[in-house]
A and B are shown apart, each in its own frame.
Chain A
Amino acid sequence: MGPMTSAATASSPVDGIVATVSIVLSLLVAAWALVVAVRQRPPDRVQFVGLAALEVSLLVLAVLAVVAVGGGDRPGEPGAFFGYLVTLVCLPPLAWVLARMEPTRWGSAIVCAVCLVTPVVVVRLQQTWEVLGG
Chain B
Amino acid sequence: MVETRPAGPATNAGPGRLLIAVYLLFAIAATSRAGLQIATKFDEAPVAYLLSGLAALIYIVAAVGLARAGHTGRRVALACCSVELVGVIAVGILSLVDKELFPDETVWSQFGSGYGYIPLVLPVLGLVWLWRTRRAPA
Contacts and interface: CB of A to CB of B under 8 A. Distances in A.
B15 A87 contact: no
Contact of A83 (B17, B21, B32): B32
Contact of B22 (A101, A104, A107, A113): A113
Interface in B3-48: 3, 13-15, 17-18, 20-22, 24-25, 28-29, 32-33, 36, 39-40
Nearest to A120: B116
B21 A110 contact: yes
Question: Interface size class for chain B?
Answer: 10 to 19
B18 A106 contact: yes
Contacts of B32: 83, 87
Contacts of B28: 87
A114 interface: yes
Contact of A79 (B3, B15, B29, B40): B40
Contact of B17 (A79, A80, A101, A117): A101
Contacts of B22: 113
A105 B62 CA distance: 23
A109 interface: yes
Given A94-B24, A114-B25, 20 more contacts: A80-B36, A83-B32, A83-B36, A87-B29, A95-B21, A98-B17, A98-B21, A98-B24, A102-B13, A102-B14, A102-B17, A102-B18, A104-B3, A106-B14, A106-B18, A107-B17, A109-B15, A109-B18, A110-B17, A113-B25
26 contacts: A79-B36, A79-B40, A80-B33, A80-B36, A83-B33, A83-B36, A87-B29, A98-B17, A98-B20, A101-B17, A102-B14, A102-B18, A104-B3, A104-B14, A106-B14, A106-B15, A106-B17, A106-B18, A107-B17, A109-B18, A110-B17, A110-B21, A113-B18, A113-B21, A113-B25, A114-B25
Interface of A: 79-80, 83, 87, 94-95, 98, 101-102, 104, 106-107, 109-110, 113-114, 117
